[in-house]
Amino acid sequence: MTPAAPLLPPADWRDFLALTKPRVMTLVVFTGLCGMLAAPVAIDPVLGFTAILCIALGAGAAGALNQWYEADLDAAMKRTAQRPLPAGRMDRQSALHFGVGLGAFSVILMGLAVNLAAAAILTVSILFYVLIYTVWLKRRTPQNIVIGGAAGAFPPLIGWAAATGQIALLPFLLFALVFLWTPPHFWALALFVKTDYANAGVPMLPVVAGEAATRRQIGLYTIPMAAVAIAPWPLGLTGSVYGVVAVAMTAAFAVLAALVTVGAKRAATPMFYEKRLFAYSILYLFVMFGALVVDRWVA
C-alpha cells in the first residue's frame, strides 16, 4: 500500500505573493502604465487604476502558473530553489487554482470595467506566457527567450488599448522594443547562471550553443533593438525629450553589449560586463518608458 503524501502546512500570504513574481511584475506594470499615459487621450483615473490593477493581476497569474508548471525546474536551480513550491511551502494544486482564478478575474474585470480590446490583449499575453513560452518553448528550444519574449512585451499595448480602445504605431513600437530587448537582457543573465540552467536541463542558448554564440546573438539583437528604441523620434511620434534620452541610453546599452559580445574581461571580476549589462538593461527600460511619459506631458 502506497503511503499517503505528507500534508503541507497552509501557505503563508507571502508565499502567494511570491508566486506572482513581484519584481518582474514591477516592470510589467510600469510599462503598461507608461503605455496608458503616453496615449493621446486621457483615461478616467478610476478606470486607469482598474486597468493597471488588471495588468498586475494578469502578470501575477502568469507568474503563478509558470511556477506551478516549472516546480521541478525551479527545484533544480539554485536561484529558484527557495520559491514556495520547490521549497515545500505550498502544494501545486493551490498554485494552480490561485493562478487560474487570478487570471480569469483580471480578464473579466478588464473587459467589464475598461474595454474588450484591452481584455483581449491581456488574455493573449497570459496565454502566450503560460502556453507558448512556459509549456511549449522553455524546455524545447534555445530560442525560448526570443519567441517567448513577446509575452512580456504586451503591457504597453494593453495600457494604450485601455485608454483608447485601439492600437496605433507607437504602442506597436513599444511592443517591439521590449520584444527585442528581452534576448540580450536574458542572455546576459544566462551567461553567468548557465550552470543552473544546465543542471535543470533547460536549453538556454549558452548551454546548448556555448558562450561565444550567445555573445554574438546579444550583439546582433542589440542592433534592431537600438533602431526600434530611437525610431519614434524621427517618425514624429515623440518629441526631443524622448529622442535625446533614447539616443543616450541606447548608446550606453550598445557599448555594454559590445563589451559582452567581444568577451571583454575585467581582472578579478568574472562576468563583470555581463552582470552590468543585465542590471543596466532593467534600468534602461524604466528610463526609456519614463522618458516617453515625460515627453508626452511636456509636448
Strand-pair partners of 269:
266
| Beta carbons within 10 angstroms of residue 45's beta carbon | 8
223 and 241: one domain? yes
154 and 181: one domain? no
Contact indicator for 73, 200 with CB cutoff of 8 Å: yes
104 and 221: one domain? no
Give the span between the Cα atoms of 290 and 168, in whole angstroms.
19
- Asked if the structure places residue 7 within a domain, the reply is no
Query: What is the torsion angle, in degrees rounded to the nearest 10, for the CA atoms of residue 241, residue 243, residue 244 and residue 246?
Result: 120
Residue-wise pLDDT tens digits, 47-69: 999 999 999 999 999 999 999 99
Give the span between the Cα atoms of 252 and 277, in whole angstroms.
10
Examine the pLDDT at 299 and tell me if it is beyond 80.
no
Structural domain harbouring 132 = 12-167
- Asked if the structure places residue 1 within a domain, the reply is no
Residue-wise pLDDT tens digits, 219-243: 999 999 999 999 999 999 999 999 9
- Single out the residue in 167, 197, 223 at which a domain terminates: 167
- Single out the residue in 145, 167, 189 at which a domain terminates: 167
Q: Which three cell numbers stand for residue 107?
A: 480578464
Contact indicator for 69, 138 with CB cutoff of 8 Å: no
Q: Output the domain CATH number for residue 127.
A: 1.10.357.140
- Single out the residue in 167, 189, 216 at which a domain terminates: 167
Q: What is the number of helices (H) and of strands (E) in the chain? A: 14, 0
24 and 160: one domain? yes
- Asked if the structure places residue 78 within a domain, the reply is yes
Query: What is the torsion angle, in degrees rounded to the nearest 10, for the CA atoms of residue 136, residue 142, residue 146 and residue 147?
Result: -20
Q: Which three cell numbers stand for residue 86?
A: 520547490
Give the span between the Cα atoms of 243 and 84, in whole angstroms.
43
DSSP assigned state of 131: I
Nearest to 128 by CA among 108, 146, 152: 152
DSSP assigned state of 129: I
pLDDT of residue 254: 98
Q: Which three cell numbers stand for residue 111?
A: 473587459
Examine the pLDDT at 10 and tell me if it is beyond 80.
no
Of the pLDDT bands very low, low, confident and very high (cuts 50, 70, 90), residue 8 is low
Question: Which amino acid appears at position 71 of this protein?
Answer: A
DSSP assigned state of 88: T
Maximal CA-CA distance, the chain: 73
Mean pLDDT across 81-110: 94
Nearest to 285 by CA among 215, 204, 203, 228: 228
**Structure-model confidence comparison of residues 4 and 266, the more confident one:** 266
77 and 181: one domain? no
pTM of the model: 0.91
192 and 120: one domain? no
3 state DSSP class of 269: strand
**Alpha-carbon Rg of the chain, whole angstroms?**
20
- Asked if the structure places residue 4 within a domain, the reply is no
Q: Which residue has the cell 483615473?
A: 45
pLDDT of residue 1: 46
